[in-house]
Amino acid sequence: MAQKDVGNKIPIYKLKKTDEVMKYYDDWGQENKYDKDMLDWNYTGPKETTETFIKYQKNKDAKIYDAGCGTGLVGVELKKFGYHNFYGADLSKKLLDLVPSQLYKKLDQVDLNKPIQEENDTFDAVMCVGTFTFGHVKPPALDEFIRITKNKGHICFTINEGIHEEYGFDKKIEQLNNENKWKEIEFFKSDYIASKDVNAWLGLYEVIK
């Protein structure tokens, strides 16, 4: 399928290296600019993933790993529906410092392109919203998400449409399907940042162990 060229829509899409990405987000967090921009751009990733997730995860106590949690926008959305057991991880210390206090049980500064320091089968779900995008987190992170998720747990994510094929997410998903590591529940093109003409694939998968 032809991939829309969205690489020039937002400045951060030009960055390639993890340390550049970290610095960009650290600066973006100044004076809450990141949250303000997301509001101005009508960024719907957290809302759309939450709406999908709540259709399948009925346990409000579910232990949820928010991979690339940023300022906690996913936790804010999930909390509206009664979920509360959040564990956040992000590269940017500055954004982690902006997560509303008490919203997450634990916040860790991590590089998700490296092995995650969590035991196997720890979480009922992993949410990863806005973090599979240009220069951010690469497809092998999906293996780690599966490893830390319990049998029948859920993995819910967005993949920026501009990198889905370029970074090999399409192939990685096909491999995980073929190896029965997970089962597709939902996979569709979501609005994401429609105001900037950038959409994302939204997936929800059930882990098989």
Ligand X SMILES: C[S@@+](CC[C@H](N)C(=O)[O-])C[C@H]1O[C@@H](n2cnc3c(N)ncnc32)[C@H](O)[C@@H]1O
The two structure tokens encoding residue 47: 């809302």
Residue the block writes with tokens 């998700």: 112
The residue among 114, 136, 106 whose CA lies nearest residue 22 is 136
List of long-range contacts for 80-86, beta carbons under 8 Å, 24+ apart: 80/50, 81/50, 81/54, 83/54, 83/57, 84/60, 85/61
Count of residues in contact with ligand X, rule CB under 6 A: 23
Radius of gyration, alpha carbons of the chain: 16
When asked if residue 116 is in the footprint of ligand X (CB under 6 A), the reply is no
Q: How far is the CB of 208 from ligand X (least distance, A)?
A: 25
When asked if residue 78 is in the footprint of ligand X (CB under 6 A), the reply is no
Comparing CB distances to ligand X, the nearer of 111 and 186 is 111
Indicate the residue whose CB is closest to ligand X. Answer: 70
Strand partners, 198: 193
| Residues 124-183 close enough to bind ligand X by CB under 6 A | 129-131, 136-137
Contact range with ligand X by CB under 6 A, out of 86-94, 144-152, 166-174, 177-185:
86-94
What's the Cα-to-Cα distance from 164 to each of 83, 147, 190, rounded to whole Å?
29, 22, 13
Site string for ligand X, 23-62 (x = CB under 6 A): --x-------------------xx----------------
Tell me which of 6, 62, 69, 78 binds ligand X, using CB under 6 A: 69
Comparing CB distances to ligand X, the nearer of 73 and 159 is 73
When asked if residue 88 is in the footprint of ligand X (CB under 6 A), the reply is no
Residue the block writes with tokens 């060229």: 5
| One-letter amino acid of 97 | D
Q: How many CB atoms lie within 10 A of CB 187?
A: 13
Binding residues (CB under 6 A) for ligand X: these are: 18, 21, 25, 45-46, 68-70, 73-74, 90-92, 95, 110-113, 129-131, 136-137
